[in-house]
Structure 1
Amino acid sequence: MAKRTKLAALAVALGLAVSASVAKAETLADAMIGAYNNSGLLEQNRAVLRAADEDVAQAVAALRPVISWSADATRQFGTTRSATTNNLILPTVSNTASASLIAELTIFDNGQGKLAIETAKEAVLGTRQSLVGIEQQVLLAAVEAFLEVRRAIENVALRENNVRLITQELRAARERFEVGEVTRTDTSLAEARLAAARSQLAAAQGALTIAREQYLAIVGRLPGALEPLRSLPNLPGSVESAKAIAVREHPQVKSVQHQVAAAELSILRAEAAMKPTVRLAGRLNVTEGLNTDRFTRGGSVGVEAGGPIYQGGRLTSLVRQAMANRDSSRGQLHQVIDQVSQNVGNAYAQLRIAQASLESTERQVRAATVAFRGVREEAALGARTTLDVLNAEQELLNARSARISAQVDESIAAYRVLSTLGRLTATDLRLNVQQYDPISYYNLVKDGPIQKSKQGQQLDRVLKSLGKN
């Protein structure tokens, strides 16, 4: 009874240990969350987006009054001669100080200012889509790093098992040699295979170390126990439907679409620059003599209008250049659409290849397992040699290794398909992360707040939270 109690307690302890290890195993989602939170590439491109947001603020500021000041202190000296001084040459010195306050406001510019704002907004929208594309790259890299570690771990386990099996075969061969059932050649073959298996194990362990370092670089920490994938992502049933989704939703396509829109607006801006503008200008001046009691104070307010007459063909060249850039953006859009569609087709082809390979390796493993068991039993009866057993074991090892690679390749290919659709994002995958909100910073700066305003103070707090101050 006491022995049964001890065995039961041991079983419970082992069960709890297994449960704890399973509970602590990292999932693929954990790896992607780590990559999302620790990616320097994402941080870099978020800063690029914030810089693009500031272009909108600068375009808005161009339509507001511009107030500036200037000041100077002047010392004038020289000599003078006149009849009042009996034609004597006398030195003259005067010290003056002046200050000016200047204000300017563009009243009418044929829409150049508003077009500049709209162009900057299109650039912001395009940059946001580029950031989504970077996010996809980061998450796909996390997927590949996770699965490569899984591949390496399983290969190491497979190689370790192979070393154990060949060690057993070598032990059996030596026992049979001692009783005269086999020759020295059989034991030498087993020894050679064992040495090769140990070499392959060392290579697999090295590959695991490399995969762990890659995981550390992408996810931000070394991998622990990794949980196998439970399922693959849901994908469209046909390549054509997937291509239609990618053309509509892929961030690269959307980014170039905004570039085309910005190029269209640039043409209108270039045409507006050929027309006159009207500005309201005001100035206040104060000038005082430092060594006299003389001073002047005054100001001016006026409306100024002006426009180009002849600039050597520069303005018309700018219009033509804007049109050429628009045509270039349109051509780029066509290329991107074609490339995205091709990438979808290629990703589906790789997925089908991996699935077919997995199905074949499953059959290969089943057949090799049956063959290995049969050869080993026949060798025990003396109908097979040690070399036959070693060859059958090697066939089984190769089949299992191929199955591991096919399983990993299928998973990677599935997530690559998801990436080509534009759906490998934290939002689409519902990752438990604090997602970066590109709109919040834009809303703070789009109206060009000054530092001392309430909105400017709020912006300062945001920048400090980002670690930029």
Structure 2
Amino acid sequence: MRLRKIASFALISTVSVTCNGASAETLASALAQAYVNNSGLNAERAGLKAIDEGVPQALAGYRPTIAGSASYGINPFTYEEAATRSNGRVVEGSTTRSTFYPGSIGIEVQQKLFDGGRTLNSVRAAESQVLGGRATLLNTEQSTLYNAATAYMDVLRDTAALNLQHSNVEVLEEQLRQTQDRFRAGEVTQTDVAQAEASLASGRGSESSAVATLKSSVATYQRVIGHLPQRLAPGAPAIPLLPKSREAAIATALASHPAIRANLHAVDTAELQVKVKTGKLAPSIAASASASVIWDDDYRKDKTIAAEAALAASIPIYEGGLFYSQVRQAKENVTSAHDNLEITRAQIRQQVEAAWADMESSREQIAARLTAVSANEIALAGVREEAKVGQRTTLDILNQQQALLNARVNLVSAQRDFIVATYAALSASGKLTAQHLSLKVPRYDPTRHYRQVRDAWGGLRTPDGQ
């Protein structure tokens, strides 16, 4: 039963799950740990850094390109002179062997002067992708914090449920003992004993299932938050952080939800890509300059030094239809991006509506289940008293005990559902962020890496030293 002590929650009352211990981990501190440790969130941050690199890559279109060249060769040469006859004498031929070492070095600089706006629009598209990546990161942050809040409340709920099941087993064990005593005294029959034994076996099975459920929740907690739960304080609903009404939540979400912002930037990027592809049909102008040194044998002796500067223009006439197809494709991507934006807006509205309805429903469920717990406690006490005078059977007591257990477990679930629903409503509104929650943790700055690499002209190492 060690799992029942993992979070030290120990007791379930008719009102709330409680936890003892001044050093207990709070829901806010668990969210802060997830903000720092969650692997999925950290992977999204690394992915945004990769997106940042698209801007300096696009800016490279404004910059010159420099290329050097060098060559060195070995050219063995053999000259054979045939024998000749001179004045009646034969002059033997000769063979001359020599080796030449030709080589060259050169450098060339090219600079684009005009490319139909491709570089300009590529930079703008890359910057739009960065903004979209930041919005996606914020949306991932929301999902992570919601999953962390859910995992936290699941552990609280499942530990409280396990405590209830354990207490129920203890009650059923005592009920069986009393029933056996009454059987020996002739007050009840063997059937009553069998009913008590069956209820105890069922209770132990339910306790075993509660242990398995808690183990699963603990594993999820560790995966999402980054460590095992130890001492968890009761969770609190996020009501103070929510918009004042359902309508206000919808308006807030449609205006600033990060998923919608990410899709808005996707539309901008798609429209800019149309301009990039159209720019391929425009003429381009580039300047170039080169210098080279060429020698046939020894660069210290005979060599040729050449320098050249040129201005070249290129006008695409026909590329097999490739550029035209790319423009049409880019335009279709714009249509798709607009459609995805409308889909996302509809989904966000639906999520707010659903989350708000769940929150209101779970709040009402708490009140109803509190009433059920109170009524079942009164009923159980009455059944026990009536059983003493023979008006109720052992089965009546066992059934009422099970009804009270179910009511208490349902109350715990309702309390958990209400708190989780408030975080779902906050997430659907686009406000479940470390900043809005005022988590006590250093904020991740998504612009820092961008500023470090945007104007970099070279370098293989990343800003963090990789």
Q: Please tell me the TM-score bracket, short chain as reference.
A: 0.7 to 0.9
Residue 29 in structure 1 maps to residue 37 in structure 2 = no
Aligned partner of residue 102 in structure 2, secondary structure: strand
Residue type of the partner of 1:368? N
Structure 2: how far apart are the matches of 1:317 and 1:208?
57
Match for residue 267 of structure 2 among 255, 260, 267 = 260
Task: Say whether the 8 Å CA contact 1:276–1:307 is kept in structure 2.
Answer: yes
Alpha carbon RMSD of aligned pairs, Å? 2.6
Task: Say whether the 8 Å CA contact 2:237–2:422 is kept in structure 1.
Answer: no
| Residues 1:311 and 1:347: Cα distance change in structure 2 (over 3 Å) | same
Task: Say whether the 8 Å CA contact 1:60–1:448 is kept in structure 2.
Answer: no
Task: Give 2:319's aligned residue.
Answer: 311
Aligned partner of residue 101 in structure 2, secondary structure: strand
Task: Say whether the 8 Å CA contact 1:358–1:407 is kept in structure 2.
Answer: yes
Structure 1: how far apart are the matches of 2:230 and 2:50?
38
| Residues 1:91 and 1:321: Cα distance change in structure 2 (over 3 Å) | farther
Deviates more, 1:289-298 or 1:358-367: 289-298
Structure 1: how far apart are the matches of 2:278 and 2:202?
75
Residue type of the partner of 1:108? F
Structure 2: how far apart are the matches of 1:221 and 1:272?
53
1:130-154 C-alpha deviation (Å, 9 max, x unpaired): 1111111211111111111011111
Task: Say whether the 8 Å CA contact 2:148–2:225 is kept in structure 1.
Answer: yes
Task: Give 1:238's aligned residue.
Answer: 245
Structure 1: how far apart are the matches of 2:210 and 2:342?
45
Structure 1: how far apart are the matches of 2:383 and 2:76?
115
Structure 1: how far apart are the matches of 2:158 and 2:232?
11
Aligned partner of residue 280 in structure 1, secondary structure: strand
Residue type of the partner of 1:99? I
Residue 219 in structure 1 maps to residue 232 in structure 2 = no
| Residues 1:446 and 1:82: Cα distance change in structure 2 (over 3 Å) | farther
Aligned partner of residue 309 in structure 2, secondary structure: strand
Q: How does 1:40-51 map to 2 (within 5 A)?
A: 40-51=39-50
Q: How does 1:415-454 map to 2 (within 5 A)?
A: 415-451=423-459
Q: Quote the offset at 1:358 in angstroms.
A: 2.2
Residue type of the partner of 2:65? V
Residue type of the partner of 1:355? R
Task: Say whether the 8 Å CA contact 2:33–2:226 is kept in structure 1.
Answer: yes
Task: Give 1:348's aligned residue.
Answer: 356
Task: Give 1:17's aligned residue.
Answer: none
Match for residue 249 of structure 1 among 244, 250, 256 = 256
Q: How does 1:279-318 map to 2 (within 5 A)?
A: 279-290=286-297, 293-318=301-326
1:312-369 C-alpha deviation (Å, 9 max, x unpaired): 3322222222211111111111111111111222222222332232222122111111
Structure 1: how far apart are the matches of 2:97 and 2:316?
48
Q: Quote the offset at 1:76 in angstroms.
A: 4.5
Structure 1: how far apart are the matches of 2:96 and 2:269?
67
Task: Give 2:12's aligned residue.
Answer: none
Task: Say whether the 8 Å CA contact 1:49–1:127 is kept in structure 2.
Answer: yes
Aligned partner of residue 73 in structure 2, secondary structure: strand
Deviates more, 1:440-449 or 1:308-317: 308-317
Structure 1: how far apart are the matches of 2:116 and 2:384?
90
1:285-304 C-alpha deviation (Å, 9 max, x unpaired): 01123358321112111222
How many residue pairs align between the two structures? 439
Q: Quote the offset at 1:308 in angstroms.
A: 0.9
Structure 2: how far apart are the matches of 1:88 and 1:325?
77
Task: Give 1:101's aligned residue.
Answer: 107
Residue type of the partner of 1:58? Q
Q: Quote the offset at 1:78 in angstroms.
A: 7.1
Q: Quote the offset at 1:27 in angstroms.
A: 1.0
Deviates more, 1:277-286 or 1:353-362: 353-362
Residue 142 in structure 1 maps to residue 143 in structure 2 = no
Structure 1: how far apart are the matches of 2:96 and 2:324?
59
Aligned partner of residue 290 in structure 1, secondary structure: coil
Q: How does 1:143-182 map to 2 (within 5 A)?
A: 143-182=149-188
TM-score by length of 1: 0.87
Aligned partner of residue 435 in structure 1, secondary structure: coil
Structure 1: how far apart are the matches of 2:80 and 2:313?
45
Task: Say whether the 8 Å CA contact 1:27–1:227 is kept in structure 2.
Answer: yes
1:40-59 C-alpha deviation (Å, 9 max, x unpaired): 11221111111111110111
Match for residue 270 of structure 1 among 270, 274, 277 = 277
Deviates more, 1:68-77 or 1:263-272: 68-77
Residue 39 in structure 1 maps to residue 38 in structure 2 = yes
Residue 405 in structure 1 maps to residue 406 in structure 2 = no
Q: Which runs of 5+ in 2 are unaligned?
A: 1-18, 86-92
Residue type of the partner of 1:405? S
Aligned partner of residue 68 in structure 1, secondary structure: strand
| Residues 1:78 and 1:328: Cα distance change in structure 2 (over 3 Å) | farther
Task: Say whether the 8 Å CA contact 2:237–2:420 is kept in structure 1.
Answer: no
Task: Give 2:214's aligned residue.
Answer: 208
Q: Quote the offset at 1:416 in angstroms.
A: 1.1
Task: Say whether the 8 Å CA contact 2:55–2:123 is kept in structure 1.
Answer: yes
1:62-88 C-alpha deviation (Å, 9 max, x unpaired): 2011112111113456788999x9999
Q: Quote the offset at 1:93 in angstroms.
A: 5.6
Identity percentage of aligned residues: 35
Structure 2: how far apart are the matches of 1:89 and 1:271?
66
Structure 1: how far apart are the matches of 2:261 and 2:211?
44
Task: Say whether the 8 Å CA contact 1:58–1:448 is kept in structure 2.
Answer: no
Task: Give 2:88's aligned residue.
Answer: none
Aligned partner of residue 62 in structure 2, secondary structure: coil
1:185-209 C-alpha deviation (Å, 9 max, x unpaired): 2222112211211111111112112
Structure 1: how far apart are the matches of 2:456 and 2:332?
32
Q: Which runs of 5+ in 1 are unaligned?
A: 1-19
Residue type of the partner of 1:35? A
Residue 120 in structure 1 maps to residue 120 in structure 2 = no
Task: Give 2:7's aligned residue.
Answer: none
Structure 1: how far apart are the matches of 2:268 and 2:223?
38
Q: Quote the offset at 1:90 in angstroms.
A: 8.2
Task: Say whether the 8 Å CA contact 1:70–1:99 is kept in structure 2.
Answer: yes
Residue type of the partner of 2:268? A
Structure 2: how far apart are the matches of 1:175 and 1:443?
80
Task: Say whether the 8 Å CA contact 2:284–2:315 is kept in structure 1.
Answer: yes
Residue type of the partner of 2:260? V
Residue type of the partner of 1:40? S
